[in-house]
Amino acid sequence: MSGHLAGSTVPNPVIPGFHPDPSICRVGDDYYLVCSSFEYFPGIPVFHSRDLVNWTQLGNALDRPSQLRLPREMPSSAGIYAPTLRHHDGRFWLIVTNVGDSGNMLFTATDPAGPWSDPVRLPGVPGIDPDLAWDEDGTCWCTVAGISQVRLDPYTGETLGEPERTWSGTGGQAPEAPHLYRIGEYWYLLIAEGGTERGHGVSIARGRTPTGPFESCPANPVLTHRSTNHPIQNTGHADLVQAPDGSWWMVLLGVRPRGGTPGWHVIGRETFLAPVEWVDDWPVVGPLTPELPAPAWPLIPATGLPVRDDFDHAELQPCWISVRERPAQLVTTKERSGWLTLHAAGASLDEPDPVFVGRRQQHLDCSVRTLIDPAEGRGGLAVRLDERHHYEIEAVDGRVTVFARIGPLRTEVASILVPAGPVVLGVEIGPHPPEDSRTAPDLLSFGVELPDGGFTPLASLDGRYLSTEVAGGFTGRVIGMYAAAGTVHFDWFDYEPTSAS
C-alpha cells in the first residue's frame, strides 16, 4: 500500500482515500487496522503494518454473503459503520454495525487476514459504533454511541443487564465512536463529538472502573481542527495504540478539502496518525500534520499496489470493491483468461446495485486507464460517489461517450466515434486551473487513448459535484469498471498517482 522510508517526516494520511473510522490493535510487533465500508462489498478492509506508517491491505473481513448483506433498499452510506478491532484471549474480535440490515454483529478470527467467522448477532446492543473491552475479571464491556455501555457475553452475543448511560462528552453534538481502555491506573473513555463534519473532535474522560464515574479531561477536546484553516479537517473518530517501545499513538479520521475555505473533500475520510504524550495521566495529541515527524524506529516498506492490475489472478486483489454484492456469475476473471469480465444485470450506475468493480481514489491527483473490449455489450470507466453522483466514460463498439450524473440531473457531455474493437478509456484527475482553484477542488478529464496518439480528452468536469460536501454521505470516490448492457471485458486497469499526495 505504501513504501515510505525513514526520514525526518513521513506523509500523513497513512492510509489515504476512503478509509474512515480506523480501529487499531497491536499483537507483538504487528499492528492491524480496520475501517468502515458502508455499501461496498467485500466489507471492512483489514490492514497490517510493522511501523504504523506503511500499511498493506491483507484482505476484507466480510467477504461472503453469510457475513454481509447489503440489500438494494438500503441507502448508500448505510451498511457497515465503524468497526472495533481487538485482540483478546488468543483471537481477534471485530464488532460492527450493519446499519439498515442486521444491526450489531461480532466476528472472530485467529488470523486477521481471514477467514473471519460468520456473525454472532447482538440484538441487545443499543447503538452504533460498538466497542469491546475486557476488565481484569474477564467481564466484556460493550460501549456504543450515545454514550452507553452494557455487559456482553461475546461468545453468545447475549447482553447481561440493562444498558447504562455513561459519560457523553462535553456537550458537542453526536457523542459517538467510543473506545474504552485500561491504561495505567485508570480506565479511559475516548469518544468523538461535534459530528463527523468540520466540527469533529476527540474528547476523553477517565475513571477508576470501566463503568466510571468518569472525569472529563480539562483539556477537552484533546484534538480538533474545527474553526481553523488547517489542511486536515473533520478530525475525529480516533483509537489509541501503544508501540513496543512504550510510545503511544492515535489513529483517527480526517479529510483534505481543496478549493478554498471551507472547500470540498472528494476522496472521503482518510486514516491519519498522530503521536500521543501522557501528561498528568491525560493524553496530549499531536502534531497532526500532512508531514508527520517520523517515528523513532526503522520504517519497513509495505507491499505497494502495482500501477497495473492485469487480472491474471483467479481472485481479485483485496483493493477491488463492488456495490452491495459481487455475484460470481456477473463478475469473473475465469471467463476470458487474463481479463475481468462483467455481465450487466439490468441496473445502471444510477441505481443502487450496478455491476461495478472499483478501487478507492487514494490520491488527490491521479491518472487512470483501462482497456475495454465492448464487442458484446456496453460499459466503461466510472468515478462514483454514489448512485446520484458519478461521472463516466462509456464504450460501445466504435463509439465512446462521457456522461455526468449530478443529483437529479443526468446528461451526455461528449461523444466521439473510435475505431471498432478494444479501446483504452481514461481519466486524469488533477488541480483545477488556477483561476478556479479557489472554487473547485479538482478537475476530472475523461478521454481515450487511441493507438496513433496519446490521451485525447473529451470532457473536463468540475470535481466539486463528486464531493461529500455536495453529495452528503460517509464514503469517498471509488473509480472502476462497470457493465451497462450485455458483456464487457477489461484486459487491465492502471491507477497511478500524479502528485505526492
By annotation, the residues acting in catalysis are: 21, 176
Strand partners, 62: 43
Please select the residue that binds ligand 6LW; options are 85, 122, 125, 192, rule is CB under 6 A: 192
Tell me if 390 sits within 8 A of 406, measured CB to CB: no
Closest CA to 104 of 114, 115, 93, 113: 93
- Three cell numbers written together for 27: 499483537
Which one of residues 13, 21, 78, 380 is an interface residue with ligand 6LW (CB under 6 A)? Answer: 21
* Residue among 68 and 429 whose Cβ is closer to ligand 6LW: 68
- Which residue number, 75 or 115, has a Cβ lying nearer to ligand 6LW? 75
DSSP code, position 258? B
Shortest CB 232 distance to ligand 6LW, Å: 14
Residue from 39, 51, 131, 176 binding ligand 6LW (CB under 6 A): 176
Which cell goes with 65? 454473503
Cα separation, 381 vs 383, whole angstroms: 7
Cβ at position 400, least distance to ligand 6LW in Å? 36
Sole binder of ligand 6LW in the list 128, 305, 413, 485 (CB under 6 A): 128
Q: What is the DSSP string of 403-464?
A: EEEETTEEEEEEEEE--SS-EEEEEEEEPPPGGGTTT-S-EEEEEEE-TTSSEEEEEEEEGG
Q: ∠ CA 9-14-16 to the nearest 5 degrees? A: 130
The answer to whether residue 177 forms part of the interface with ligand 6LW (CB under 6 A) is: yes
Q: Which residue has the cell 459503520?
A: 81
- Restricted to residues 233-272, the positions that interact with ligand 6LW (CB under 6 A) are 236-237, 253
Find the binder of ligand 6LW among 82, 204, 255, 400 (CB under 6 A): 82
Tell me if 196 contacts ligand 6LW by CB under 6 A: yes
Please give the residue whose beta carbon sits closest to ligand 6LW in the complex: 196
Q: Is 6 in the site for ligand 6LW (CB under 6 A)?
A: no
415-474 binders of ligand 6LW (CB under 6 A)? 474
DSSP 116: P
Q: Which of 13, 16, 17, 20 binds ligand 6LW (CB under 6 A)?
A: 20
Pick 98 or 332: Cβ nearer ligand 6LW:
98
What would you measure as the largest C-alpha separation in the chain, in angstroms? 73
Pick the closest to residue 344 from 487, 491, 479 (CA basis).
Answer: 487
Residue nearer to ligand 6LW on the CB measure, 124 or 201: 201
By CB under 6 A, residue 131 contacts ligand 6LW? no
- Residue 127 C-alpha cell reads as 447503538
Q: Does 40 bind ligand 6LW (CB under 6 A)?
A: no
- Is 129 an interacting residue with respect to ligand 6LW (CB under 6 A)? yes
Residue 187: count other Cβ atoms within 10 Å of its Cβ.
21
Three-state SS for 470?
Answer: helix
**Can you give the binding site for ligand 6LW, defined by CB under 6 A?**
20-21, 36, 81-82, 128-129, 176-177, 192, 196, 236-237, 253, 474
